[in-house]
Amino acid sequence: MSTVNTVTEQLTRAGQAIEHDSFAIIDAETGPHSYTESQWPIVRRMIHANADFDFNGLTDFHPSAVREGIAAMLAGATPVVADVEMICSGLSQPRLAHFGMKTYQFISDADVIETAKLEDTTRAVQAMRKAHRLGLLEGAIVGIGNAPTALIELVRLIREEGVRPALVVGMPVGFVSAAESKDLMAEIAEVPWIVIRGRKGGSTLVVAALHALLALAEAKQKAGQE
């Protein structure tokens, strides 16, 4: 029986070979690491997305992050709430559709922009609040790769309003509050998270992490059908 995932793999044999060879090179050049068997495919795909081996060490996991992320995907129809459109555009629609998942982002909505101006906050803050008002954060996978203020607001919603996403992939990039926002997320015990410590991050890393989780979910799904 084939060991290749049919939905989350490259669509051609040549593409699969290049991707698998790339992963093998990363494994060889990385050597020993401290990640678990389920965590490493996520870190490896993040390295693959940026050719940056610093993510071996900078990436940090809540103990139940991988398990809960896979479970949310296998549950079906779990929303993916992002801070920016780039994450939604980067995620493979066929892979999401396989699990009945849809993406949402509100950063450019007129009401979000207007409220941010009125309250002198960022659009990212108001976008997270809108997702909460719409009931999209509960049980969702939340991906934040651009705006530290979105992650800070999400932490507030978790602490003060009892919001409970299934998983937070918190990887905002930048020089103002980026590292601090991820440190705040990592203090949360009630909600699973994957974060990149420090200033590094970005939407491409969120996409890579979620694609790795989708591949793990499909592998588990296939194993359950055999």
Q: Where are the beta strands (DSSP E) in the chain?
A: 59-61, 80-82, 103-104, 141-144, 167-170, 193-196
In degrees, to the nearest 5, what angle opens at C-alpha 88 toward C-alphas 87 and 92? 100
Contacts of 3 (CB under 8 A, 6+ apart): none
User: Virtual CA dihedral for 203, 184, 65, 136, nearest 10 degrees?
Assistant: -70
Q: Which of 202, 75, 216 is nearest to 141 (CA)?
A: 75
Chain centroid, CA 41 distance in Å: 13
Contacts of 90 (CB under 8 A, 6+ apart): 203, 204, 207
| CA count, 13 A, side-chain hemisphere, 221 | 20
DSSP letter at 201 equals -
The residues assigned a catalytic role are 48
**Residue 170, phi then psi, degrees to nearest 5:** -105, 100
